[in-house]
Amino acid sequence: MKKTIIYTGLALIIGLFIGYLVFSGSDNTTEETHAEHSAAEDTMWTCSMHPQIMQPEPGDCPICGMELIPADQSDATIAGFTMTENAMKLANIQTTIVGTSNADKSVTLSGTLETNEELNAVQSSYFAGRIEQLFINTTGEQVKIGQILATIYSPELVAAQQELLTALKLKESQPKLYQAVRNKLKNWKLSDSQINSIEESGKVKENFPVFASNSGTVTEKMVNEGDYVNRGQPLYKVANLTKVWAVFDAYEQQLSNLKEGQKLQISVNAFVDESFSGTIDFIDPILDNSARTTEVRVVLDNRDRNLKPGMFVEAKVELGAKEDSQISIPKSAVMWTGERSVVYLKTDPNTPQFEMKEVKLGSETGDTYQILEGLEKGDEVVTNGTFTVDAAAQLQGKKSMMNQNPTDSNNKAMVMEMSLPKSFQSVLKPVIQDYLQLKDDLVASDAASAMQAAKKASAKINNIDTSELNKMLTSHFKVLQDKFKAISDTAAIAAQRENFIALSQNMIALVSNFDEIEEIYIQRCPMANNNKGATWLSKNKEIKNPYFGDQMLGCGEILETLPNKYK
């Protein structure tokens, strides 16, 4: 009996203890489950390869099929956006702290040696006639003032000599006639001694010499023996090489460091151990629009004639304290949007959060640009992978190189001005037709037809020569290639529409800069792209939404009609 009571008591105690553990754990589990559920509701999921994908629940990326990962939920500004750490590593995105780069403290100019135009001369014939003999037959020969260059038979000069001999006989009675004839011969560059020699001999000379009027090097021989020349016709070009010009091309950003009268130390490739000193005597006031450079000229002493026109030269311009104090960034950080320069600023040192920033550039120093406005020392900017960051900004509906704002105050599409080669415009037009067919297929929610349209476009675009395209155009072109291929590789209509966003943005950027194009509309749906808005091109004025199809077929507006007048 006692044993029964003892066993019953033990069972009761054990039961109470187990009940406590179970129900207590249940309460904790309930609290934890509720907390996890609450946290899950607040978490957005993204793709490490496609950071533009943002979904409220886990799953697979609609573009590449990779498993989604939790996105960083740090707050971003209206213009800012966030990328995942993994995406940054895969794209090899690198940043640099402004003002910490070891930029050269000098500007290097490259150029060539040229003849000094101020000392160039043309040796001409002083009378008409036939060249009987040339005494200088090759370029590069040295001539001195008074040296005989050629002899010429001149019927005019023969007649003038006969007039002189006749006037000589009438010298006493008609001194003015005699003097006029002598002056006539002097106008043909005959010296007094030559004229006196004719008078003393009493004979007419058939061939007369042409003497060098300048010393220098013959740079061009312009006649041959037997040629008939007119009075004033060039025979030789002569350059005086005792002083030569070093002519440099300076970019507009470098001009603030240059001024007339400034002394430069110049190196010549042919004389690596020597340095030559010269003074800037001229800076061309007109800029070459195509190269964005202007000519800077330095005079060099060359009495020993070691410097030869055509040699390559370099000059280093040391920068003063004012230039040294300027902050600078690597050239790779800068992207161009027409006349504006932009960089991507990392706004949080602890998270991969970025924002586009417009900057004003100063002079170019080595591999860096000076920053006059827009950045401060200590700012962190993207220096490698800038176009990847820009693409992420586009796809997340943020300020980007292509769109400073999705729309302007007049509700027009914002596009940057670019210069497209004529040949590129021509070969891209058939691709535009495939793009428009793809758009129609997405409107109809026909994924199979959309795949075929994208395949046709891919086949055409992959055969386009891009050698004439600059870095910016190549970036847009690469997005077209990637997005057409991505659409052709998936049968999921959602993934096709996701890729169509970036495809359309870059297509609009290119088409908007065509010189000539048939009327086409830039249209936009404000609810597409997770309510960030998305654009597309259409030949039809009526809105037919490719991002929602039948669900919201008429949702959208016309932003712009091309061709337009913004250029």
CATH number, domain containing residue 190: 2.40.50.100
Q: Provide, rounded to the nearest whole percent, the portion of the chain with pLDDT above 70.
A: 77
pLDDT category, 428, cuts 50, 70, 90?
very high
The answer to whether residues 291 and 376 belong to one domain is no
297 lies in some domain = yes
In tens, the pLDDT along 252-266 reads 878 888 899 898 889
Nearest CA to 432 out of 383, 381, 365, 503 is that of 503
Find out whether 506 and 407 touch, Cβ atoms under 8 Å: no
Cβ distance 149 to 176 under 8 Å? no
Tokens representing 133?
């003999």
Are residues 207 and 190 part of one domain?
yes
407 in a domain, yes or no? Answer: no
In this prediction, residue 347 carries a pLDDT of: 84
> For the chain, what's the residue count?
567
pLDDT, position 18: 44
The contacts found for 58-63 with CB under 8 angstroms, 24 or more apart, are 62/492, 62/494, 62/495, 62/498, 63/486, 63/490, 63/495, 63/498, 63/499
The whole-angstrom separation of Cα 270 and Cα 274 is 9
Q: What is the CATH number of the domain that holds 264?
A: 2.40.30.170
- 38 shares its domain with 52: no
Same domain, 134 and 164: yes
Are both 472 and 346 inside the same structural domain? no
Long-range pairs of 388-392 with CB within 8 A, sequence gap ≥ 24? 388/91, 388/93, 389/83, 389/91, 389/93, 389/344, 389/354, 390/335, 390/344, 390/356, 390/475, 391/479, 391/502, 392/51, 392/52, 392/81, 392/83, 392/87, 392/354
CA distance 191 to 171: 19
The top-scoring range by mean pLDDT among 57-71, 309-323, 395-409, 429-443 is: 429-443
What local confidence, expressed as pLDDT, does residue 47 receive? 64
Q: Is the pLDDT confidence value at 518 over 80?
A: yes
Distance of CA 2 to the CA centre of its chain: 101
Model pTM above 0.75: no
Q: In the chain, count H helices and then E strands.
A: 12, 28
| The predicted structure's pLDDT at residue 312 | 93
Query: Which of 501, 504, 454, 458 is closest to 481 using CA atoms?
Result: 458
Range(s) of the domain holding residue 6? 1-42
Claim to verify: residue 537 and residue 443 sit in the same structural domain: yes
221 and 368 share one domain: no
Neighbouring CB atoms inside 10 A of 162's CB total 12
Burial of 251 (0-12, 13-18, 19+ CB in 10 A): middle
Tell whether 235 and 257 lie within a shared domain: no
Give residue 334's identity as a one-letter amino acid code. V
Residue 135, pLDDT > 80, answer: yes
Q: How many domains does the chain have?
A: 6
- Residue 413 is assigned to a structural domain of this protein: no
Instruction: Indicate the residue among 205, 222, 239 that finishes a domain.
Output: 239
Which of the two residues, 396 and 242, has the higher pLDDT score?
242
DSSP per position, 78-92? SS-EE--HHHHHHTT
